Each structure stands twice: as C-alpha cells, then as structure tokens.
Amino acid sequence: MFINTLITDPIHFFRIVVIIIFSITLHELAHGWAAMSQGDDTPQRTGHLTLNPVVHMGWESIIFLCIAGIAWGQMPVNPSKFRSAKLGNIIVSAAGPLSNLALGIIFVLLFKVYSNPHLSGLLSLEFVYLTARINFILFLFNLLPIPPLDGFHVWSEIFPKLKQLENTQFGVFALMLLFLIPSFGTGLGLIADLVIKAITGV
C-alpha cells in the first residue's frame, strides 16, 4: 500500500501527496473555467471556482490518496447550458487533461533550467521532476476512452458509438482491471520519462 511509503520514505510520500492534490485541483479548475467559457455558470454558482482542494476532491479522495495513492476530483457542470453541446463537451472534458499536460511541460522546462549547476540549489530537482512526471501520467491516464474519465467524453463525441458504454459497468470493470495490472502504471511512467527525456535531452 502507498501509505507504507510514509514510513519508508516520508519525504517522497508528502511530495507525491502535495503534487497530486495540487494537480487535481488545477485539473478540476480547468474544467470549471472551460465550462464557464462555454456558457455554463454551474461551477461558479456551486462555489467550485476555488483553490480549496477539499471542494474539488472531498476528504474521502484525499484520505484514499494517502492510503492507496489513488485520488479523484469532480467539477459540477451542466452540458445543457453549453452553447454547442458537442464542441462544448469536448472542450470542457479536454480542459482537465490539457491542464496536466501544461503543468508537465512547465515543470519539465523548470527541470531543464534548474539542472544548471549554478541554479541547482534553488529548487529540489527531484520534486520538479516528480511533478512533471505525475502530470504527464495524469494527462495520459485521463485521455483513456473509459467512462467516467475525461477521455471517454472527448472520444465519444468524435466516435458516437462509444456512448453506448456510458451507462454500463464497462468503465468500472475496465478501471479495476487496469489498476490490477502492475505493468499499466509502470508503462505510463515509462512514457512520461521518455517525454521528459525528449524535452530536456537529459
């Protein structure tokens, strides 16, 4: 269990918890801002345009993150208020993963800057690298065409036949299966490492 890391490597534990909470909070805010841009004021009316992670994740998600290393968030939106149902759904759904992609790129560029020996003392390179890596993993994971992930809402608008899976048990079964496959998380991590290496040249 992830919580064992608290005993074996507490600094690494708190780094991961802080990074994931920060990343999910911005991920959900990106959904909210995108929804507002599409004519839906639900995020504002429900008080979800805030940096408070408890509002976006809830204590259950934060506690589960500390125990199992898995967390989730939510942003209330009303697709019926989007100016364009199809395009609005794509934009709002894609906004979350794209925020993680943007964070990944920002932090990998910071990693490249702070790899300079003259600047290395200003930030923890391990923390910067870990932030970039986690955000690339979140980007890749959330784009999977599995309900209720963001990727499903994006891809189902492009390929409408996928909508048949929305109200089935497929999503729960598929996610459980993925989390039971140890190589799945490792694979996403390897892809993230390759992206970072490609950008930094390190």
Q: Which of 28, 60, 126, 166 is catalytic?
A: 28
Active site residue 157: no
Q: Rounded to an integer, what is the distance from CA 125 to the centroid of its chain?
A: 21
How many CA atoms are closer than 13 Å to the CA of 115, on its beta-carbon side?
A: 12
- DSSP tag of 169: S
The span from the CA of 173 to the CA of 168, in Å, is 10
Start-end of H helices in the chain: 5-8, 10-37, 42-45, 53-68, 85-114, 125-142, 150-158, 170-180, 182-200
By annotation, the residues acting in catalysis are: 28
